[in-house]
Amino acid sequence: MSTTQISIIVPLYNEAESLPELSAWIDKVLKENRLSYEIIMVDDGSSDGSWNVIENLVKNNSSVRGIKFRRNYGKSAALHCGFQAARGEVVITMDADLQDSPDEIPGLYKMITEEQFDLVSGWKKKRYDNTVTKNLPSKLFNWTARKFSGIRLHDFNCGLKAYRNDVVKAIEVYGEMHRYIPIIASKAGFRRIGEKVVQHRKRKFGVTKFGFERFINGYLDLITISFISRFGKRPMHLFGTLGTLMFILGFIMAAIVGILKLIAVYQNLPARLVTESPYFFIALAAMILGTQLFMTGFLGELISRSSSERNVYHIEKEI
């Protein structure tokens, strides 16, 4: 059993100004609640001196740990490495920009340990960045994710979340999948997912790192998760089924064309050449496409059996 009760993972990119205040705030809250903790700050290739700030924090606080990427990989990569390094009974993720309040940590911890949730997601019910270009796409995105997954969360993309340690060790986050961690966890069998209304604070330092394109990428990632969760280990079930149906459809169409030709010849009726019928070429294309889909599924099975499925991120330093 780990002696650390809480691991706090803070992915960051160019947030040097906010890190000292965030670290001091977390330290104050958790000491007041007599909770043992570690802070894992994952520097995602910052260029503003964030790593120097982390080094100073590590020297002054033994509970702070630092991981530095050689270049910018994205938030999902930072969370993935933080999850692997976490030693706490409960793992909490939060953004480094001070818009997530550390005062929420004890409440999230209790929901995991006392109410037996696998995962608790924050809901920033009252926001201070309610611009039309950000709020409207966000609502549409969350509505789609709810309908698609059946998970009744209001804010999938909230950075403030809490997990049991075995949840973060069992899931893999990559690309831009961090916004879909509740869905990934549910697909992995962790279905006790809760929600907590949390405080949203105005940004104090720096600028937002997210643009409108994240919503387009978000929908593409949603499709990816659906495909991988259902067919990642058995691609033949998808491509083989589609290929078989296409081939059978093409074969039936070709047979009909051929039978009609034979009937016409048998009855001494004028009949065009089979190759003059457009249906012959449609049937031929369907059979070729069906064969290609079937072979795609077969190759996918070979690849899924032999791939290591391991992401490699180049960590430059760890303290």
Is 317 within the bounds of a domain? no
- Crossing angle of helices 19-32 and 105-113, rounded to 10°: 50
- Asked whether residue 224 falls in the same domain as residue 267, the answer is no
- Asked whether residue 195 falls in the same domain as residue 278, the answer is no
- Asked whether residue 139 falls in the same domain as residue 211, the answer is yes
- Asked whether residue 11 falls in the same domain as residue 158, the answer is yes
pTM of the complete model: 0.71
Report which of 14, 72, 13, 12 is spatially closest to residue 39, judged by C-alpha positions.
Answer: 12
For residue 148, the enclosing domain spans 6-231
**79-88: burial string, b at 16+ Cβ within 10 Å, e else:** bbbbbebbeb
pLDDT tens-place string over residues 11-65: 999 999 999 999 999 999 999 999 999 999 999 999 988 999 999 999 999 999 9
- Helix/strand/coil for 267: coil
Higher pLDDT, 40 or 214: 40
Residue that is written with structure tokens 């818009």 in the block: 99
- Asked whether residue 282 falls in the same domain as residue 221, the answer is no
- Asked whether residue 264 falls in the same domain as residue 162, the answer is no
Is 49 within the bounds of a domain? yes
- Asked whether residue 247 falls in the same domain as residue 191, the answer is no
Count of structural domains within the chain:
2
- Asked whether residue 14 falls in the same domain as residue 145, the answer is yes
Q: How many Å apart are CA 26 and CA 274, to the nearest integer?
A: 77
User: For residue 96, what is the domain's CATH number?
Assistant: 3.90.550.10
Of 206, 231, 256, which residue sits at a domain end?
Answer: 231
- Asked whether residue 147 falls in the same domain as residue 247, the answer is no
- Asked whether residue 226 falls in the same domain as residue 242, the answer is no
* Cα 247 → chain centroid: 35
Q: Rounded mean pLDDT of the chain?
A: 85
- Helix/strand/coil for 106: helix
DSSP state of 294: H
